Amino acid sequence: MTTPTPYNGWRSKRLIFLAPEPYHEDFLHAMSQDWTSFTNAAPMLPTPNGTEGAKDFRTWLQKAMLGVVICLPGEDAASEAAPAEPSAPKLPPGGPAVRNPAASAVPTLNAKHTPIGTLTLTGPPENMSRMSRHRRVDIGINVSSAYQGQGYGSEAILWSLEFAFKHAGMHRVGIGAMSYNTGAVRLYERLGFKPEGRIRDFFWHDGEFWDAVELGMLEGEWWERYGGRGKKEGVAANACQAELLILLKLVNLVVVVYETSKSSSVDTRPRTRQHAIMGSV
C-alpha cells in the first residue's frame, strides 16, 4: 500500500482557489460585463447585469459540486499580471473591493488575493441525485480577458482534473466549447481531452449559428497521462498474463509426461492429448 502524496488542495503552482464570498461579487459583476470572456464561456444572451445578478452567480457557484474563484495569491503576483487601479484604495486582506466605474472591467479586489476567473465542476442537478452513480462531471471555466494567454486557464483545468479523478472519485470529466472558440478546443485537446462529438448549429453568435464541441477525459486516461499509472499497470498486467501462459503450458507438459509414463505401448494418444490441451490455452 503506497503512502498518499501530500496535496495542498486549494493551490496550484501559481494560483489559489477560493470559495466564493460576498466580497467577490464586485469581481463577478465585472466579469459579466467582460464581453469577450462572457461570450466565450456562456451561451446566454449578453445583457447588462446588475449587482443582483452577481449575487445569483455567487449562489450558483456555491451550489456546484465544486465552485471556486481563481485567484493570484499575494500583491506581488497581482501587480505583475495586471496594473492596479490607481483610484482603488488598498483594503485589509480578505476585505471587499471598492470598484472604480471608470477603470477596466477587471478590478483588483483586495490586498491579499487578486481574482482572475471562476471554475466549476457540475454533476447531475440536485433533483437527479440517482444519476450520481455514473460518476461524471463537467468543467466550466471563465478567465478574465485581461489574464488570458498566460497559461492560467490550463493550470486551473489541470488542478480541477486532479481534484475530480484523484480526490472526488470521478470516472469522466467533460468540457465543451463553442466552435468559434477554436483556441479553447485546441487547448483542451493539448491537455488530453478527447473529441466526443458536435451538436450542429447549437449556438447563435455574432449573426450566425455555431456548433457545440464536446470533449471528455476518462479516469484511466488521466492516470496514464498525469497520475503515474496506466502504462506501468498495463506492463505489469501483460507480464502477469505471460507468466500465467507459461505456467499453463508447464502444467500441460506434466500431464502429457504423466500419461505417457502410464502407457506401456507406443501409440499416438499422448500426442493427440497434448495437442488438444495446448490448443485450449
Q: Assess if residue 11 is contained within a domain.
A: no
- Predicted confidence at residue 46, as pLDDT, reads 80
Q: How far apart are CA 201 and CA 210, in angstroms?
A: 5
Residue 35 lies in a domain: yes
36 lies in some domain: yes
125 and 245 fall within a common domain: no
The residues facing 142 across adjacent strands are 118
In a domain, 151, yes or no: yes
* Residue 50 pLDDT greater than 80, yes or no: yes
And the C-alpha cell for 252?
A: 500441460
State how far the alpha carbon of 96 is from the alpha carbons of 54, 89, 151, 195, 258, in Å.
14, 11, 27, 41, 86
Q: What is the pLDDT of residue 247?
A: 67
Residue 19 pLDDT greater than 70, yes or no: yes
Q: Strand order of the sheet with strand 16-18?
A: 16-18, 66-73, 113-122, 136-143, 172-178, 208-218, 194-205
Q: Is residue 100 part of a domain?
A: yes
- Helical axes 182-190 vs 152-162, angle rounded to 10°: 50
> Could you say which of 229, 249, 269 is where a domain stops?
229
Residue 6 lies in a domain: no
pLDDT digits (tens, 9 = 90+) for 74-91: 865 444 444 343 333 343
Using an 8 Å Cβ cutoff, are 147 and 106 in contact?
yes
* Res 183 pLDDT > 70: yes
For residues 214 and 245, membership in a common domain is answered with no
Q: Are residues 77 and 162 in the same domain?
A: yes
Looking at the fold, whether 135 and 157 belong to one and the same domain comes out as yes
Q: How many helices (H) and strands (E) does the chain have?
A: 9, 7
Indicate the pTM of the whole model. 0.68
Residues 223 and 249 both lie in one domain: no
Q: Are residues 271 and 176 located together in one domain of the fold?
A: no
pLDDT at 131 over 70: yes
> Do residues 93 and 132 both lie within one domain?
yes
- The reply to whether 256 and 168 lie within a common domain is no
**Model pLDDT, residue 72:** 97
Tell me the per-residue pLDDT of 204-255, one tens digit each, with 9 for 90 and over. Answer: 999 999 999 999 999 999 999 998 876 445 444 445 555 665 666 676 766 6
Does residue 203 sit in the same domain as residue 248? no
Instruction: Tell me which amino acid residue 207 is.
Output: G
Task: Give the domain CATH number at 184.
Answer: 3.40.630.30
Q: Answer whether residue 92 shows pLDDT above 80.
A: no
| pLDDT value at residue 177 | 95
Range of 222's domain?
A: 16-229
Count of structural domains, the chain: 2
The confidence band for 105, taking pLDDT boundaries of 50, 70 and 90, is very low
d(CA 62, CA 120): 9
Same domain, 160 and 269: no
The grid coordinates listed for 181 are 472558440
Asked whether the beta carbons of 117 and 147 are under 8 A apart, the reply is: yes
The pLDDT-based confidence of 258 (bands split at 50, 70, 90) is low
Q: With beta carbons less than 8 A apart as the criterion, state whether 137 and 161 touch.
A: no
3-state secondary structure at position 183: helix
Residue 142 inside a domain? The answer is: yes
Together in a domain, 131 and 178: yes
Which runs of E-coded beta strand occur in 66-207?
A: 66-73, 113-122, 136-143, 172-178, 194-205
Strand partners, 197: 214
More confident of the two residues 45 and 176: 176
Size (the chain), residues: 281
Would you state the pLDDT for residue 43? Answer: 82
**Does the structure show a pLDDT above 80 at 186?**
yes
Q: Return the H-helix or E-strand segment holding 272.
A: helix 269-279
Shared domain for 212 and 259, answered yes or no, is no
Does residue 84 belong to any structural domain of this protein?
yes
| Residue 122, phi then psi, degrees to nearest 5 | -120, 135
